[in-house]
Structure 1
Amino acid sequence: MYDFAADSADCARAVEAGLSEYLTGARLSGPGPAADRVIAAMRHGSLEGGKRLRPLLVRQAAAIFSVPREQALPAGLAVEMIHCYSLIHDDLPAMDDDDLRRGRPTVHKAFDEATAILAGDALLTEAFALLANPGTHPDAEVRIRLVAELAAGSGTGGMVGGQMRDIEGEKGGFTEAEIAVMQAMKTGALIRASVRMGALIGGADARALSALTAYAEAAGRAFQLADDILDVTATPETMGKATGKDAEAGKQTVVARLGLEGAREMLDRTVSEAVSALRTFGPRADGLRATARYFASREK
């Protein structure tokens, strides 16, 4: 029987160890020596915290196709490096201007703004270097598809574009459909990429990839809905970062439109949609089902 707590804890340990091993001057030097300060900032923004949910999704999707955990880990590390870079940049004064992340000073507070920008840039760049490495997958065609998938999920049609739409939404006037598009890009696109990358590692056919994509898109919506609810209901101590900032900034969220109860009802429906998309996989997809349910029940 699948144990979500044990699997997620094991994945978090593997990601922490993998990032700690990878984010060193010795590994990241070439053609010149890596700067110690930027490596330290990269490590500050990546290690000792985080639920590592995106690498978990890579692992769980790959497991449907009997891919061993260690073979899915490099792609999971690449996704997490993208996620961590985005958090470092989101916390900057020009963006969300946050002082705390995971209960610790944000990178621009622990170092300075310029170093935080460069640390994020470096994590972004090194994520693609890792995917291009033959150690990630022996088939060059699969590695190319992984690179393209992560670029799509994190670029202008994905996370970056969604962040831009989020900033524009602070001026108001977004419809519910426009909020959905923004959130699908800002948060959902990287979750979608994580699941699809796991499927690609496993050699999924078109039909399986389509079903997993439907799951991932619904799971991404559920994650963002839960995040919006927590921004209203959770305390800064629980979250390890400031809360209530969406309302202060006038950001467009489903909670702002539908209220807490309406948002919670939508969250339940969205999780059910995600779980239903996995019906063809049977017990092999129990991990992905558990993660979708976790998205709805998490408290931080």
Structure 2
Amino acid sequence: MTASMTAFARRETHQPWGSLSWEIRSVNQRYLEPSFRLPDSLRDLEPVLRNELRQKLARGKLDLTLRFYPTNENSQLQINTALLDQVIEATEQIYARKPTAAALDPLQLLQWPGVMQTAQIDEERIKAEALALFALALDDLQAHRNREGEALNQLIEERLQQITEHLSSAQNHLPQALALWRSNLLERAQKLQVDMDSARLEQEVVLLAQKQDVAEELDRLTTHVKEVRRALSSKGPIGRRLDFLMQEMNREANTLGSKAMSMDMTQVSVDLKVLIEQMREQIQNIE
């Protein structure tokens, strides 16, 4: 199935302990290039996320953002009164030994490590939920890429059909074009009054006609069209293979233009190159 590299997906979940949301944006890229933005508390999930991503996608530049919003309960600050009492008792011992010590600042007490606490959160549960949500978001992204791919497939197929029609027209026109080219060449030779054996002249004309013959280019283009269609119906990443086929088709179309024996054949070459370039632009987005 043809898959586009351009897609977007968003998933979120709301739990008693807070909310999680994933956003994934994907654009075309020669290789797989993910960029994760994760909360510090969930940063250690990145290797697992990268591994899951590689199992499902082969190409594309992806921005993957995970946001975590804890509930107010979890974000409220709490005082560890037992530890605070120990700190105050220690400061009182200092005052007992040195009554002239500076007055105690309550803010300094709050800054003592462990005195201020937030409500405990089950981090393992949050990580498990983040991974499950990521899998859903990735499925949504793939579905979007597949829908885009179907549209690209249709656009490419339309151009392949037009190319097939041009090739058929050129093949039908080829015998007539060769005969006309041969006739014109013989006529010019006669006007120049070239003193040459008629058999030798005919031999030279045949050799030149063989060099100008574009039947092989037309056959190769027809084969490339079939190969493009075969690739579009195959499974797995096909973007690089299609890009290679576009290069080969463009090379054959250029050769066809350089060997054109008539204006009709020249126009076929131009039309083919336009259609091939249109396909190449679409193929840049295919995985």
Same fold per superposition (TM over 0.5): no
TM-score (norm 2): 0.25
Q: Which has the larger radius of gyration?
A: 2
TM-score (norm 1): 0.24
Q: Quick check: which one's helix share is greater?
A: 1
Q: Quick check: which one's strand share is greater?
A: 2
